[in-house]
Structure 1
């Protein structure tokens, strides 16, 4: 059996979703997710920017779920992010640090940043006195 995937992207805003968010979708089973219907569902939920394969630990968690996808979102305009793209991407990088190599993490960070800036050309980082440093 092949490995399951993780899809990184930005949530599509529409009738159901009203807030900008970084969306991370985990496959829980391969047949439903990679079918035409599963991929169409994924495209309606997010604009996928980056894909990677899950680690064995992530795969074990997914097998216990009863849905074909599990989504984790970081909402851009809510606390602790408060509209900061940089802070949102750093929090996502910190959440992935146990499952992703440093090089892969950097590729995900850059792909998400470029996609967001492309779709939001007038974006400016909000002023904040709080500085997050994850090492």
Structure 2
């Protein structure tokens, strides 16, 4: 297990960000990310829900970066998600399939769902979903 972390959470909305999104932030270096300045940047970017350590392959990719963080986002209100919490959590789980165990992916999805539902108490899943096939 490595020493670099991955932070999962919901993007903070403001002047820069206008759309709700799952924010996945990868550390690229240990010293800058865990400093007070690095943690302040992290808190400004997202509401962190859960974190995990990167595997060896993810850490190799981090060595080529010149920034202290790398962020990936999945936007809730854009295609193909169209406002579906279940769909966005499924897509996030699929993205982590190669690096994260099934148990940890389920734990991440549940933590993100719980956090989202606390912030959006009136949320209901869109009922017009198209039929889809899941092959696992």
Q: TM-score, normalised by structure 2?
A: 0.95
Which residue of 1 is the match for residue 23 of structure 2?
Answer: 23
Which residue of 2 is the match for residue 64 of structure 1?
Answer: 64
| Residues 41-66 of structure 1: per-residue CA shift (max 9 Å, x gap) | 00000000000000000000011001
Q: 1:109 to 1:134 in 2, by over 3 A?
A: farther
What is the rounded CA distance, in whole Å, between the counterparts of 1:108 and 1:73 in structure 2? 15
Q: Does the Cα contact within 8 Å between 1:89 and 1:109 map onto a contact in 2?
A: yes
Which residue of 2 is the match for residue 40 of structure 1?
Answer: 40
Q: Does the Cα contact within 8 Å between 1:7 and 1:52 map onto a contact in 2?
A: yes
Structure 1 residue 131, shift from structure 2 partner: 3.0
Structure 1 residue 129, shift from structure 2 partner: 2.0
Matches within 5 A, 1:76-95: 76-95=76-95
Q: Does the Cα contact within 8 Å between 1:85 and 1:113 map onto a contact in 2?
A: yes
| Residues 84-113 of structure 1: per-residue CA shift (max 9 Å, x gap) | 010000000001011011111110010000
Gaps of 5+ in 1: none
Q: 1:132 to 1:109 in 2, by over 3 A?
A: farther
Q: Does the Cα contact within 8 Å between 1:11 and 1:45 map onto a contact in 2?
A: yes
Which residue of 2 is the match for residue 75 of structure 1?
Answer: 75
Q: Does the Cα contact within 8 Å between 1:94 and 1:134 map onto a contact in 2?
A: no
What is the rounded CA distance, in whole Å, between the counterparts of 2:95 and 2:109 in structure 1? 12
Q: How well do the aligned residues superpose, as a CA RMSD in angstroms?
A: 1.1
Q: 1:10 to 1:98 in 2, by over 3 A?
A: same
Aligned with 1:47: secondary structure?
A: strand
Which residue of 2 is the match for residue 55 of structure 1?
Answer: 55
Structure 1 residue 134, shift from structure 2 partner: 5.4
Q: How many residues align?
A: 134
Which residue of 1 is the match for residue 104 of structure 2?
Answer: 104
